Each structure stands twice: as structure tokens, then as C-alpha cells.
Amino acid sequence: MSNNILTVMKKEFARFFGDRRMLIMLLLPGILIYVVYSFMGTALQSMFAPDDEYYPVTYVANLPDSLKGDVMGGWAWAQLEQTGTANTAALKEKIAAKEADLLVIFPRDFDEQVEAYDVRESTGPAPNIEIYYNSSEANSQNAYRTVTALLDAYESSLANKFDVNRGVAAADLVTEEDASASIISMMMPMLLMVFLYSGCVGIAPESIAGEKERGTIGALLVSPLKRSQLAIGKILSLGVLAFLAGLVSAVATILSLPKLMGMDGGISVNIYNATDYIFLAMIILSTILLLITLISIISAFAKTVKEANSAIMPLMIVVMLVGVSAMFGGGAQTGTAYYLIPMYNSVQGMSGVFSLDYSALNIVLSTLSNIVYACAGGFILTKMFNSEKIMFSR
């Protein structure tokens, strides 16, 4: 009995390890996860690591003598501007417009009030420090965290003799537009990548591997049609169909996003103009062309639709992992090189457009690079159509 079991196991191992495609399918997902995660880790570290060359523009009103020195780190981490309280409203507007990072307002005679305040005997409120920032701007948020941490440590050393933002209902000066853009930019790139991939994978394998499985691919290959025309025709037609499928899902998601986030009335999708939508359409169309091309190439290697769908799984892993990178926030990357990396450039471009913080040059570069990669893929697909070994394999 044990010999029979071993015989079956040997047969299955021989069949599996003798088929290079099956072996690749076993190992490739793990390799891709390692490569993509390693790259994403490096990118996210560079995204969230403190910028030693940037000093947040910090306005401080009525700065007390006790906090001019080491207690606040000497304010060496900030571009400090001392001011009065007369122009507080104007400074808040600058923070909301992302022209400044932080506004800290100390009470007049702060040191005297702290010295006179007794936690156990006083019946009045403790001296209160007001801090204003913009949560949609990473530098502003980091500056806010730095100041509050330093003040909390100082407050503890004084036995809680002052408060921070007591009674301040709107310390975060983020605008409704920036708040909406921040939330949408974290959600939509990942969702769009999933929608686009789903639209492509739903039709491309059937168009190529399906024709091989049904035996109808031969009629196309022996027709007067050039193989390059066949490749381009399939890529463009499949791209249009995938775009329509992805468009319906994307529009439905955008319209339902406020309810999805439980913020009906608090998040607006009317913050984008025609230029933003044009750039977004450029990224989406070029991404679809690239995805269709890649899936078509993989499908051309497969003998059946089922085999093609299995072979496409590693590509799905890449799309999902890259799409998730947008959910970490922090805005889009600014380095030009990031917009030359397939898939990742699309996510960064979408994230930039949705966050309303993007460079037109980077969007164009991302679009053109995707088109170039799709053209290269079309050339490869043409060569595959010319190969009888690939197209008529059994």
C-alpha cells in the first residue's frame, strides 16, 4: 500500500517538476511579493522619513522666555517666526493654504501665570496654549506632533500647570477640499487599479487563449492580416472594452464614496476640475493598454483559458500590492524616476491627481512610459503570433 502511495507521489512530482510553467507558477508569487514589498518598503521609508533639509514655517505669538531655549529643542527644527496676536486670522489662512505649517499662541505673561497657578488650590483654568496646523500637509502635521510632544514633556515636569488647545474646536485648519482630496487619494488609486485589472482579466484571456483552445486562432493567423495588425487590433479593442468596464465601476465608486466612508456631507467629489480629469483619463487609458498587453502576452503562452487565468495570478498580486501603497498616504512621490516604473507610476499619478498635488510633467511622463511599454509588449505579442511553436502548442 505504501509503495502505491509513493508511486503516485513520484508520478505527480515528475509531472509537476517536469513542467517549467507549473514550477514557475509555484515560485513566482513568492518572488514577486519579496521584490514588490522590498521596493514598497524603500519607497515608503523615503516618503515618511523626516526631511532633514526642511524646517517647518512656525509662527509663535508671545513666546515666553522659558521656552526659548532647550525645552523646545532650541526651536532648531523649525523656521521660527515670532509674532503678535493681531494677525492671527491671517496666519491661520496661510496655514489653511499650505503657505505656513504651524501657529502657536501663548498667553501673555505665560511664565508668570504658570508660576502663580496651583493645581490643588486654584479654582480657575490653567494657562492655555493654542496650536493650529493643517493635517493634509505632512510637514504641518509633523510640526504639530513635535510641538505637542515637547510641550507635554514640559507640562509633566511642571505638574500639569498649563493646558494645550483647551476649548479649541478647530485646531486643524485643513480645508474641506484638502480633507476630501486626502481621503479620496488614499482610497481611489487602489480601487481603480483593481477595477482596471478586473476589466482586463475578464476579457483578454478569452480573446487569445480562448481562441487557441477552440482552434479558431489558426484561421486568423493564415488570413492576409499582418500579425502586427492582429496584435494591435486585439490590444486596442480589448483596451476599449476594459476601459468601459473600469469606467462604470470607477464612477459608481466615486459617487458612493461619501456614504462608503460614513461621511455623507463631509466629503465632496466636486473638488476636481476638467484638467484633473484629463490627466486622470491619460493615466487610466495608458494603464489599461499596459495591462491588456501584459495579460495578452501571458494568455498567448497558455493553451487554455483556465491555464491563462492561473498564469495571470502573479500579475494580480503585483497590481494589488502596488495599489495598496497609495493607502499609506503621504501624497505622491516627487522623484521623476518613480514615474518610469510600470504599475507603480500609475498609482503615483492617480494619487497625485486625487490629492490635487501633482506635476503635469510627471503625469505626462507616466502616460508616455506606459504607452512605450505597451508598444514593446505589442512587438513581443507580434513575435509570438509568428511562432507556430507558441500558437499551436499542445
**Statement to judge: residues 137 and 286 lie in one domain:** no
| 184 within some domain | yes
Q: What is the 3-state secondary structure of 150-218?
A: HHHHHHHHCCCCCEECCCCCCCECCCHHHHHHHHHHHHHHHHHHHHHHHHHHCCHHHHHHHHHHHCCHH
Which pLDDT value is given to residue 129?
92
**Statement to judge: residues 281 and 315 lie in one domain:** yes
Higher pLDDT, residue 40 or 365: 365
Cα separation, 24 vs 11, whole angstroms: 19
> What's the pLDDT band for 372 if we cut at 50, 70, 90?
very high
How far, CA to CA in Å, does 52 sit from each of 48, 56, 75, 89, 139?
12, 11, 14, 30, 11
> What's the pLDDT band for 1 if we cut at 50, 70, 90?
low
Per-residue pLDDT, averaged over 38-49, amounts to 56
| 17 within some domain | no
Per-residue pLDDT, averaged over 194-201, amounts to 84
Which pLDDT value is given to residue 179?
76
**Statement to judge: residues 260 and 358 lie in one domain:** yes
Which pLDDT value is given to residue 367?
94
Which pLDDT value is given to residue 26?
60
Higher pLDDT, residue 113 or 49: 113
Which pLDDT value is given to residue 58?
93
Structural domain boundaries enclosing 158: 57-164
Percent of the chain at pLDDT > 70 equals: 79
**Statement to judge: residues 189 and 112 lie in one domain:** no
**Statement to judge: residues 137 and 66 lie in one domain:** yes
List, edge to edge, every strand of the sheet that includes 163-164: 79-83, 57-61, 102-105, 128-132, 163-164
CA 56 to chain centroid, in Å, comes to 24
| 291 within some domain | yes
pLDDT for 220 beyond 80: no
**Mean of the per-residue pLDDT values of the chain:** 80
Task: Please answer whether residues 56 and 142 qualify as being in contact, where contact means their C-beta atoms are separated by less than 8 angstroms.
Answer: yes
pLDDT for 47 beyond 60: no
pLDDT for 244 beyond 90: no
**Statement to judge: residues 218 and 105 lie in one domain:** no
| 5 within some domain | no
pLDDT for 48 beyond 70: no
Which pLDDT value is given to residue 133?
93
**Statement to judge: residues 84 and 40 lie in one domain:** no
Q: What is the 3-state secondary structure of the chain?
A: CHHHHHHHHHHHHHHHHCCHHHHHHHHHHHHHHHHHHHHHHHHHHHHHCCCCCCCCEEEEECCCHHHCCHHHHHHCCCEEEEECCCCHHHHHHHHHCCCCCEEEECCCCHHHHHHHCCCCCCCCCCCEEEEEECCCCHHHHHHHHHHHHHHHHHHHHCCCCCEECCCCCCCECCCHHHHHHHHHHHHHHHHHHHHHHHHHHCCHHHHHHHHHHHCCHHHHHCCCCCHHHHHHHHHHHHHHHHHHHHHHHHHHHHHHHHHHCCCCCCCCCCCCCHHHHHHHHHHHHHHHHHHHHHHHHHHHHCCCHHHHHHHCHHHHHHHHHHHHHHHHCCCCCCCHHHHHCCCHHHHHHHHHHHCCCCCHHHHHHHHHHHHHHHHHHHHHHHHHHCCHHHHCCC
| 361 within some domain | yes
Q: Which residue has the cell 493598454?
A: 289
Select from 164, 196, 223 the last residue of a domain.
164
Which pLDDT value is given to residue 173?
81
Per-residue pLDDT, averaged over 95-122, amounts to 86
> What's the pLDDT band for 356 if we cut at 50, 70, 90?
confident
Cα separation, 326 vs 344, whole angstroms: 10
**Statement to judge: residues 229 and 336 lie in one domain:** yes
- The continuous run of DSSP H or E covering 60 comes out as strand 57-61
Select from 131, 164, 197 the last residue of a domain.
164
Length of the chain: 394
Q: Provide the number of structural domains found in the chain.
A: 2
Select from 164, 195, 216 the last residue of a domain.
164
* Residues 120-167: tens digit of each pLDDT: 766 678 889 999 999 878 788 889 999 999 988 888 888 777 888 887
**Which residue type, as a one-letter code, is found at position 161?**
K
**Statement to judge: residues 222 and 319 lie in one domain:** yes
| 236 within some domain | yes
| Residue 93 belongs to domain with CATH number | 3.40.190
**Statement to judge: residues 146 and 269 lie in one domain:** no
pLDDT for 174 beyond 80: no
Closest CA to 80 of 102, 112, 65: 102
| 2 within some domain | no
pLDDT for 369 beyond 80: yes
Higher pLDDT, residue 174 or 293: 293
| 20 within some domain | no
CA 131 to chain centroid, in Å, comes to 30
Which pLDDT value is given to residue 266?
55
pLDDT for 97 beyond 80: yes
**Statement to judge: residues 160 and 278 lie in one domain:** no
> What's the pLDDT band for 207 if we cut at 50, 70, 90?
confident
For the record, the C-alpha cell of 175 comes out as 480645508
How far, CA to CA in Å, does 38 sit from each of 27, 29, 67, 115, 349?
17, 14, 42, 53, 21
Per-residue pLDDT, averaged over 175-204, amounts to 81
Q: Are strands 79-83 and 163-164 parallel, antiparallel or unpaired?
A: unpaired
Which pLDDT value is given to residue 9?
64
For the record, the C-alpha cell of 22 comes out as 507549473
* Residues 53-78: tens digit of each pLDDT: 788 999 999 999 888 888 888 888 88
pLDDT for 358 beyond 80: yes
Which pLDDT value is given to residue 59?
94
* Residues 267-321: tens digit of each pLDDT: 666 788 889 888 988 998 899 889 989 998 888 888 888 888 888 888 888 888 8
pLDDT for 323 beyond 90: no
- Cα dihedral sign for 139, 145, 146, 148? positive
**Statement to judge: residues 73 and 148 lie in one domain:** yes
Task: Please answer whether residues 62 and 84 qualify as being in contact, where contact means their C-beta atoms are separated by less than 8 angstroms.
Answer: yes
Which pLDDT value is given to residue 91?
92
> What's the pLDDT band for 106 if we cut at 50, 70, 90?
very high
pLDDT for 46 beyond 60: no
